Amino acid sequence: MALMTGEQYIESIRKLNMKVYMFGEKVENPVDHPILRPSLNSVRMTYDLAQDPEYQDLMVVESPYSGKAVNRFTHIHQSTEDLKNKVKMQRLCGQKTAACFQRCVGMDAFNAVFSTTFEIDEKYGTKYHENFKKFMLYSQENDLTVDGAMTDPKGDRSKAPHQQEDPDLYLHVVERRPDGVVVRGAKAHQTGMTNSHEILVMPTIAMGEDDKDYALSFAVPSDTDGILMIIGRQSCDTRKLEGGNLDVGNSEFGGVEALVVFDDVFVPNDRIFMNGEVDFAGMLVERFAGYHRQSYGGCKVGVGDVLIGAAAVAADHNGVARASHIKDKLIEMTHLNETLYSCGIACSTEGHQTASGNYMIDVLLANVCKQNITRFPYEIVRLAEDIAGGLLVTAPSEKDFKDEKIGAYVDKYFKGIGSVSTENRLRILRLIENLALGTAAVGYRTESMHGAGSPQAQRIMIARQGNLEHKKALAKAIAHVDE
């Protein structure tokens, strides 16, 4: 099968029989639901861009395993150039959607599982790498979107998986059969789950011998019996139900998260990639986290480009673009955003080949990248809100603006410079609101804090990878300290 067009992708999702719940009701048609459709459109962009000759060098790559052209989101990295192009692709997708485009987790899971299964097989003589390669080739051949599922609800964080009062708070095996296993539990915060053809499950933490039933990696179709999805709330999400598009800010694109419940789901043997090898759970988690922390140096930068542009347009509309302090704030926003991009490129450039043959980023620099992501977007948002002004959060609704009686007052008193309509001024302010405070805040501001692990998770990895003893030795040598 050739690369899908965006429309073919939409129709492929329409054919799935996913069980999706929102606001206490089952969503019978997730594809066309006004709250969910912008999220689907964001994923569609990754297909549309792959069809565009201008972007094919970034979006499309030849698979070394099939020799065919595949979307980079299903690719196994073969070089540091691949790692850099991944970050550049993610920035492009962020620029085109101003939202989370949802395929990064699956791509990062692909590469982490690829190398980890190779090393499990080397130690234990298992067939997990062969299983995974078949799944990878199937996903590439059919141009599938894959949801990477790592985060368990976790329950009491002070207890290991097997110690939880409710064993289902970590996904685990409840039955072993000759032809596979039955699993129960849930994965939380699943980005783009309703827009994915497959789910690639991984363990969420390093584990001990008593956690064997929890050391699992496998893949199943997203409409498998026993899987249901509960959509999370987002600020301003019901604005999409009101009609019109001014108040939404970004009416075409968005992102959603879901709690994905596995209620006694059967997984066949040929779709299992880890099954009790607790000594490799930590490796898989750290490799995935490293790749995904690299990703944020691309996707968040692309969305940041849009936010910086929107703040600059707001300054134009307010008639303050020439003010020195406004210029300085835009410079600072750009400096912060490009610093994040530099981190993404740096950890890619310093990557290395794994035993399996694919390429891994520099883990220390990837964690530095994500640590900066937990801080800089918040400052970029603060400066954007500063430049935009108070109307950002006090503007009347679109219905007020279009009302026959009071609309004229809104139009008259909220106009900025004479050459720009009040409507266009409000549209830019609503876009900034969407990125800073609304539904896209999940894909930019708040996700910058918690996506790919909390700030403390990165600090732990920075401590592990920082090689403090080497730095101490350097200082002692320079100071002629003889011990």
Q: Residue 79 has which token pair? A: 């070089």
> What is the C-alpha separation between 247 and 481, in angstroms, rounded?
65
pLDDT of residue 111: 98
Domain shared by 296 and 270, yes or no: no
pLDDT for res 443: 80
Residue 137, pLDDT > 90, answer yes
Q: Give the CATH number for residue 243.
A: 2.40.110.10
| 111 shares a domain with 187 | yes
**pLDDT computed for residue 325 by the predictor:** 98
CA proximity to 295, closest of 340, 353, 344: 344
> Per-residue confidence at 360, pLDDT binned at 50, 70, 90?
very high
104 is catalytic: yes
pLDDT at 440: 78
| β pairing state of 272-275 and 216-221 | antiparallel
Catalytic pick among 47, 214, 296, 359: 296
pLDDT confidence of residue 22: 98
The domain tally of the chain equals 2
Q: Are residues 401 and 463 in the same domain?
A: yes
Which is more confident, 110 or 1?
Answer: 110
212 with 349, same domain?
no
Tell me the whole-structure pTM to 2 decimals: 0.97
Instruction: Read off the tokens for 385.
Output: 């809100």
Its domain, for residue 412, covers 283-472
Q: Which of 74, 117, 191, 374 is catalytic?
A: 191
At 357, list the tokens.
């043959």
How many Å apart are CA 457 and CA 157, to the nearest integer? Answer: 13
257 counts as catalytic = yes
d(CA 467, CA 475): 13
Active site residue 347: no
Binning pLDDT at 50, 70 and 90, where does residue 1 land?
Answer: low
Residue that is written with structure tokens 């990895």 in the block: 461
Cβ-based neighbours of 452, under 8 Å, separated by 6 or more: 289, 292, 293, 295, 296, 370
Taken as a whole, the chain contains a residue count of 483
204 in active site: no
d(CA 127, CA 409): 70
Q: What is the mean pLDDT of residues 205-225?
A: 98
The answer to whether 199 and 222 have CB atoms below 8 angstroms apart is yes
Tens digit of each residue's pLDDT (9 = 90 or more) over 242-286: 999 999 999 999 999 999 999 999 999 999 999 999 999 999 999
pLDDT of residue 483: 85
339, 454: one domain: yes
Respond yes or no: is residue 299 known to be catalytic: yes
Is 33 among the catalytic positions?
no
* Domain-ending residue, one of 277, 306, 324: 277
Query: Is 343 annotated as catalytic?
Result: no
Summary mean pLDDT of the chain: 97
What does the pLDDT read at residue 330? 98
